[in-house]
Amino acid sequence: MNKIILLGRFTRDPEVRYTSTGKVVCQGTIAVDRPFVNQDGQHEADFIPIVIWGKQAEVCGNSFAKGQRILIEGRLQIRSYDAKDGSKRYATEVIVSNFNFIEKKASNTATNTNASASTASQNDRGMEAFGAAVPFDEEIPF
């Protein structure tokens, strides 16, 4: 079985492009922290190239930016190709089958912040049909 699940941050904005046959592809690199520290007490990370195809590629390219966290599920692919100088090269990448948002996209302008606050209050009003909100310091009654 070839299955990989990774949680990391984009090292740069994901790049969306279209192939000559019209398929959409999104490529990027995520930094995944290692679960231990090195001899100097510093955390290290692995930089893993990812590839997303189809509609998910468009969503990823429009929704993520450098530094944002993403949870991906996919498979490891190792492929070879001939370089311009005639040598054989290998590329290792994760082909993403599914991804999840871990955090919201940051708003940099006051206009975006006001729009986000307005949207959040509209969402809160829609939840009134489910009953009153339970404060965090109270026990849930079940």
Q: What is the pLDDT along the chain (142 residues), one digit of tens a residue?
A: 999 999 999 999 999 999 999 999 999 999 999 988 888 988 899 999 999 999 999 999 999 999 999 999 999 999 999 999 999 999 999 999 999 998 776 654 444 444 444 444 444 555 555 555 555 554 555 4
Q: Report the pLDDT value the prediction gives residue 113, as an integer from 0 to 100.
A: 43
Question: Could you give the CA distance from residue 115 to residue 120 in angstroms, rounded to a whole number?
Answer: 9
Q: Report the pLDDT value the prediction gives residue 73, as an integer from 0 to 100.
A: 97
Residue found by looking up tokens 């930089």 in the block: 47
Q: Report the pLDDT value the prediction gives residue 26, as an integer from 0 to 100.
A: 96
Q: Report the pLDDT value the prediction gives residue 107, as an integer from 0 to 100.
A: 53
Q: E strands of the chain, at which residues?
A: 4-10, 15-18, 24-37, 43-53, 69-82, 88-101
State how beta strands 69-82 and 88-101 pair: antiparallel
Q: Report the pLDDT value the prediction gives residue 110, as an integer from 0 to 100.
A: 44
Residue found by looking up tokens 């590629």 in the block: 57
- Which class for 53: exposed (0-12), middle (13-18), buried (19 or more C-beta within 10 A)? middle
The CA distances from residue 138 to 66, 127, 129, in Å, are 38, 19, 21
